[in-house]
Amino acid sequence: MGKIRINNMKFYTKNGVLPQERILGQQLEVDVELRLPLETAGKTDNVEDTVSYALVNDQIAQRLSNHSYNLIEAVASAILDDIEAAHGAVLESALVRVRKYSVPMPGIFDNVEIEMERAFK
């Protein structure tokens, strides 16, 4: 078993509960961890024997460019839906983290992050 990780993908989005979040927009960061057998790809050196992380990155970019959500939980769930639809037959599971930096609440903090994981088999 192996893992493919794509870390700190950055996307400018118009997500959020408050109207000003949807008007002004904000940057979200996304991490994805895909768990799957990688032994064959390691031996064949063929992208067809693994999951193309370039394709996964493109799918996430398309999702965040074409949809708006109130909650980052919904963002993570939609990303997992897309990953499952495209690669669920190959993957054991996937984990998604979504970070939001411009959170309209009092206090001193770096970001708010949610994490969701889904098993496919």
Residues identified as active-site:
100
Contacts of 113 (CB under 8 A, 6+ apart): 97, 98, 99, 100
Rounded Cα distance, 115 and 99, in Å = 9
CA dihedral of residues 61, 52, 54, 56 (deg, nearest 10): 10
Which tokens is 94 given? 């996937």
